[in-house]
Amino acid sequence: MATISGGEHERTMAFAEIALGQIRALHQPASPRNFEVWYSYATGYFPALNEMVNDILSRTGTLSDRDAESVYNLHLSPNRLGDRIDKVGERVVDEIEQVMAMVDAAVGSANKHSESLAGASRNLPTADREGVRAIIESLVSMAKEMELINYRLEERLLASKQEINQLQRSLEVARNESLTDPLTSLSNRKFFDQALTKAVTAAVADNEAVSLIMTDIDHFKTFNDNYGHLTGDQVLRLVALSVKQNVKGQDIAARYGGEEFAVILPNTVLRSAVTVADHIRRAVMSKELMKRSTGEHLGRVTISIGVATLRRGDTMQSLIDRADACLYAAKNAGRNRVICETDPEVSPAEKTAAVA
């Protein structure tokens, strides 16, 4: 049975305490919906949600039951993505039905044209001069009618092709949104889990290396407490940018949760992964944070990093657990450093950590 790491437990409990504190302060019912709204607010995963809540609070000083419902429906309802996909599906079906109606009409006209041609073929041998002229005029009229029908059908098919292409792009956007963290534009936890499963499976099958970097922002709670969530969001974006700029190729960077990020490094041995991790750490440390609203310089951000590489018999979770253990060893050793699973700072128990 999988276990939750100590860091994950502490982090999620902190978010839960903030959520309950907000519910208590505003005297709201401790309903699952209200808890999810405030928990999501505490994590900062949904910046549009935070902006909406902050706007309501600044105007009214509270978040009414109706406001909470609006926030939930707009930003958190599990039906949002499904609704968008359903609407795209309905539009595709409608396009197909319209095209099929035009095709049926064209087929009917073609059958009528064929019957007219057959009749003309029968009547031509016995027709006089005026009869021949009438038959020819009828055939020309039918030909023009078929030409117009074919032209309209061609236009409709072209329009439908463009519409369906647009709908395909809409579906791709919806899919990408479901796998992307909106605040940092990195992959989200859902995509990370899928990608790490694939990377571990491929590495085992091909007998290749795969390494995992886990990183956490040092003293992040202090930034939030002292300067507010907007500054905290700025810190998250800064770290995300540094991570993104130092990975390439098949590497996958993701926001793992809260102030923690992860990088999957396929075909990368431990020593090389440590080098990448230190580049990320230095890139973060080189940037000075400034509060946009006041221009106040807030100092430099630092991060702690843990690195582990796949071993024989590893699962996705055991690899995560070892990288996480290295991360917390880095924090315990003074922060702003990279610790890998072979370093002496990692205890023997942590080095062999696996899912229970």
Mean pLDDT for 159-171 is: 69
Check whether residue 62 and residue 171 sit in a common domain: no
Q: What is the pLDDT of residues 344-353, one digit of tens each?
A: 887 665 555 4
User: What does residue 31 show for φ and ψ, rounded to 5 degrees?
Assistant: -85, 155
Residue found under tokens 């995963």: 45
Most confident of 95-99, 162-166, 306-310: 306-310
Q: Which residue has the higher pLDDT, 74 or 116?
A: 74
Strand pairing class (210-217; 303-309) = antiparallel
- Please give the Cα distance from 97 to 87 (Å, whole number): 15
Check whether residue 85 and residue 160 sit in a common domain: yes
Check whether residue 341 and residue 194 sit in a common domain: yes
Check whether residue 109 and residue 146 sit in a common domain: yes
Check whether residue 281 and residue 241 sit in a common domain: yes
Residue 241 within any structural domain of the chain: yes
Domain membership of residue 261 as a residue range: 189-351
Residues above pLDDT 70, as percent of the chain: 75
Question: Which of the listed residues 178, 205, 237 is the one where a domain comes to its end?
Answer: 178
Residue 202 within any structural domain of the chain: yes
Is 320 in contact with 214 (CB distance < 8 Å)?
yes
Residue 296 within any structural domain of the chain: yes
Question: Which of the listed residues 178, 207, 230 is the one where a domain comes to its end?
Answer: 178
pLDDT number for residue 1: 33
Check whether residue 223 and residue 343 sit in a common domain: yes
The model's confidence at residue 2, banded by pLDDT at 50, 70 and 90, is very low
Query: What radius of gyration do the chain's Cα atoms show?
Result: 31
Q: Which residue has the higher pLDDT, 243 or 16?
A: 243
**What are the CB-based long-range contacts (under 8 Å, 24+) for 191-200?**
191/252, 191/254, 192/252, 192/254, 192/256, 192/262, 192/264, 193/316, 195/252, 195/254, 195/264, 196/264, 196/316, 196/319, 196/320, 197/316, 199/252, 199/264, 199/266, 200/310, 200/314, 200/315, 200/316, 200/319
Q: How many domains does the chain have?
A: 3
**Residue 214, CA distances (Å) to 132, 246, 307 in order:** 87, 14, 6
pTM exceeding the 0.75 threshold for the entire prediction: no
Residue found under tokens 């440390």: 285
Q: Does the pLDDT of residue 3 top 60, yes or no?
A: no
